[in-house]
Amino acid sequence: MDHDVCMSSPVDSYEATNLLGCVDEMVQLKHLQERDKETLASKQIELNALRSSIDAHKASLAQSDSYLTRLDFERARCAFDLSRLHADVKESNATQEKLHATKDGLASDLRRHKASMLRESQDYQTARTKMARFLEDTRAVSERNMSQSSRINQLALLKKEIADELSKYDG
């Protein structure tokens, strides 16, 4: 259709203006549609990036959950080890107390034994001194007895000589 022809009649011109407005609107809508497609494509890329980020965060959370589970396990193991350590310390303290009591008992026994050995040593020295005196006394008595025995022997010899002499005269 000819442009002048369209403008010749007022109705036609109104319709043509209307049509031109519609065409402009369609062109604008087409631009909007293309811009919306670009925006949609951009938003789709952003959405995909967000999905990837969400997936990465999910993986990170799963890793964190795994790590937290391991930490909980380690904490429980440490708590168990700590309770065993407390039990071992209590047992060690009880053993140490028993050792101190035994040491004190042994020290007391040692002191009694030393005192007993000292008394025995003193008793030995006393007995030795008494034995030395007894030996001295015995030697003195023995010497006296020997000298008396020697005198008795001398007297016996003298008596025999006298008896022999007397028998010469008696006979």
| pLDDT tens digits along 123-162 | 889 988 988 888 898 888 888 877 877 888 888 888 888 8
pLDDT level of residue 11 (50, 70, 90 thresholds): low
- pTM for this predicted structure: 0.40
Length of the chain, please? 171
Does the pLDDT at position 74 exceed 70?
Answer: yes
- What is the token pair recorded at 125? 């020295």
pLDDT level of residue 9 (50, 70, 90 thresholds): low
Q: CA 42 to CA 35: how far, in whole Å?
A: 10
- What is the token pair recorded at 146? 């020997």
Mean pLDDT of the chain: 86
Does the pLDDT at position 7 exceed 60?
Answer: no
When comparing pLDDT for 21 and 75, which is higher?
75
58 exposure class (CB count in 10 Å sphere: 0-12, 13-18, 19+): exposed
